[in-house]
Amino acid sequence: MTEPLTEKLQHLRTEAKHALDKAADQDSLEPWRVKYLGRKGQLARLIKDISQLDAPARKSAGQLANTIKQELTQAFTARAAVFRDHHSAPATALSGASLPPASSVGHLHPITLSIRRIQHIFARMGFIVAEGPLVEDPAYNFDLLNIPLHHPARAETDTFHTASGSVLRTHTSPVQLRAVLAMNLTPPFSVISPGRVFRSESTDASHEHTFHQLEAFMVGERVTVADFKGVVKKYFSDFFEQNVTTRLRPSYFPFVEPGFEVDMSCIICQQAGCSVCGRTGWLEMMGAGMVHPNVLKNMNIDHTRWQGFAFGGGIDRLAMLRHHIDDVRLFMSGRLDFLNQFS
């Protein structure tokens, strides 16, 4: 079975390159990409067959498929650059090697890249990833998190409501309950949940109605604030690739007790004082605390035996600091001149 499959791959390589050479203009590139490199394209189909081979054959066929994928992607990029730079002039004499990459291939959004980076950091610390719905039941967004009806967070003005009585979630904290209940988790466990949240507020360079948060929580028999401080230090230090310090300030959130705000040493000025940190040397990064007994009860967890921490903070802010972006609205703007910097 090996022979035919590697032969098929070789044949595909020749045919695809030939077809690409014959592509007469920009418009014929996308159909070519879909046919050969698309998710349901010819290469993808052959790659699927590889899994049925036995181990040694699988390895060599896999390597070959990877090489071919790289070759075809590069050839495509080079061809697209030729068309872009020279419009539709034939360019057979040009080698692709020195040409800039084509922007038409597409790439991940900077927020997606940040989320992947974060997931990686937390995976190494043993956290699992959970997702919750964006259109949320107010019970999860508020009540089960110990947020009473009169709490300012529930103000009509801050929350987008749907006609059927749901809300667009205003934070990722409801996933604490969703994850534990849906996956039937029993302690000890460590979970993160990155995702999109919404608030009905006016926008400016540092506020957007749609943004992203990271929720994290860890429950165990002896999980303390010290564990929290260790995890957060690791999170920020790895994310920004520099050693940061953190400080906690007492604060109030209904779903934790005690609660605090977490500041991180300014990574822009190293605490010398700059405009980003308002000359304080500290950046406000997240809310956190020890999970409130009422919330543990709502998770069906015995709060006399188990305890843990939770925190929630903005992801857009992290990406902005890391890439020196000064306007949060750029993320949702769809502006290609901004987005293409992340290709």
Q: Which residues bind ligand DAH (CB under 6 A)?
A: 171, 173, 215, 253, 256, 259, 287-289, 310-312
In angstroms, what is the minimal distance from the CB of 311 to ligand DAH?
Answer: 5
In angstroms, what is the minimal distance from the CB of 323 to ligand DAH?
Answer: 23
Q: What is the DSSP string of 242-279?
A: S---EEEEEE--TTEEEEEEEEEE-TTTTTS--TTTTT
What is d(CA 196, CA 216) in angstroms, rounded to the nearest whole number?
14
Locate 169 and state its tokens: 């979630």
Report which DSSP code applies to 204: B
Bridge partner residues of 204 (DSSP): 207
In angstroms, what is the minimal distance from the CB of 295 to ligand DAH?
Answer: 9
- Residue 73, Cβ neighbours under 10 Å: how many? 16
Instruction: Between 110 and 312, name the residue whose CB sits nearer to ligand DAH.
Output: 312
Report which DSSP code applies to 145: G
Alpha carbon distance, N-terminus to C-terminus of the chain: 39
What is d(CA 251, CA 141) in angstroms, rounded to the nearest whole number?
20
In angstroms, what is the minimal distance from the CB of 145 to ligand DAH?
Answer: 8
Name the one residue in this structure whose structure tokens are 């949702």: 332
In angstroms, what is the minimal distance from the CB of 173 to ligand DAH?
Answer: 4
